[in-house]
Amino acid sequence: MSQPTNDARTTGAAAQADGALQLDGERDSITAYYRDWAASYDQDMLEEGYAGPFIIAGLAAMITDAGSSIQAIDVGCGTGLVGRLLHQRRPAVRILGVDLSEEMAEIAARDDSYVSSLGGVDLLEYAAAEDAPTFPLVLCCGTLTHGHVGVEGLDALLRITSAGGHLAVSVRHSHSVEHGYRDKVAALAAAGAVDVVSELINAPYLDNGGADYWLLRKAAG
């Protein structure tokens, strides 16, 4: 779905944030875009009012205590904004970061918030592997959006969430509406596959649009 732009958003941080929504979902175009953007990503996104990482880290903190040392995976970790924020609040949580972009993951790896940060990781391929590990806490901010990963990404994230574990995820609101994420989550809950711990609809995300957020607890068995 193409997002409208205006003359005030054709340069700098705004253009980068808007341009990401115009990607075609193909691995090569995504990796090329973020390779060129990695160095200025944090500054650009924060200039654009990037609230997503703060909300995802806050949701994760809801279901962990100060001394919790559980394992977590930050899928689409980018430069590590979510991991840094969660580490500030829950320093004992052991976070693995994975991202499609080698350059973004390399920046995340410079921070001690992550036990490791790996680039070149495609969510759908990673989750589909027979030996894919599962984690009691899965984080995903900014990956389920236009031009990146579609609604199948939610199933993939739940596959790598341990039974009884939690998934904290953001979905760009316009993408969520277009692809029926809210109905999908409701269907999963009705089937007993998940419990909806928290749901935020069209909450703050970026200056160019809001996001839907869910904290889901996967069924124990």
Q: State the CATH number of the domain containing residue 156.
A: 3.40.50.150
122's CB contacts (< 8 A; 6+ apart) are 27, 100
> Phi/psi of residue 136, each to 5°?
-70, -15
**195 occurs within a structural domain:** yes
**6 occurs within a structural domain:** no
**119 occurs within a structural domain:** yes
Tally of structural domains, the chain: 1
Residue with tokens 């075609």: 24
**5 occurs within a structural domain:** no
**61 occurs within a structural domain:** yes
Residue with tokens 């200025």: 40
Burial of 56 (0-12, 13-18, 19+ CB in 10 A): buried
Q: Give Cα separations from 214 to 169, 173, 177 (angstroms).
A: 5, 12, 14
Domain range spanning residue 184? 12-218
Q: How much is the pTM?
A: 0.91
Ordered per-residue pLDDT tens for the chain, 221 residues: 444 444 444 457 778 777 776 666 777 888 888 888 899 989 999 999 999 999 999 999 999 988 889 999 999 999 999 999 999 999 999 999 999 999 999 999 998 999 999 999 999 999 999 999 999 999 999 999 887 888 999 999 999 999 999 999 999 999 999 999 999 999 999 999 999 999 999 999 999 899 999 999 999 97
127 vs 156: CA distance, rounded Å: 5
| 40 secondary structure, DSSP code | G
**111 occurs within a structural domain:** yes
Residue type, 23: L
**137 occurs within a structural domain:** yes
**144 occurs within a structural domain:** yes
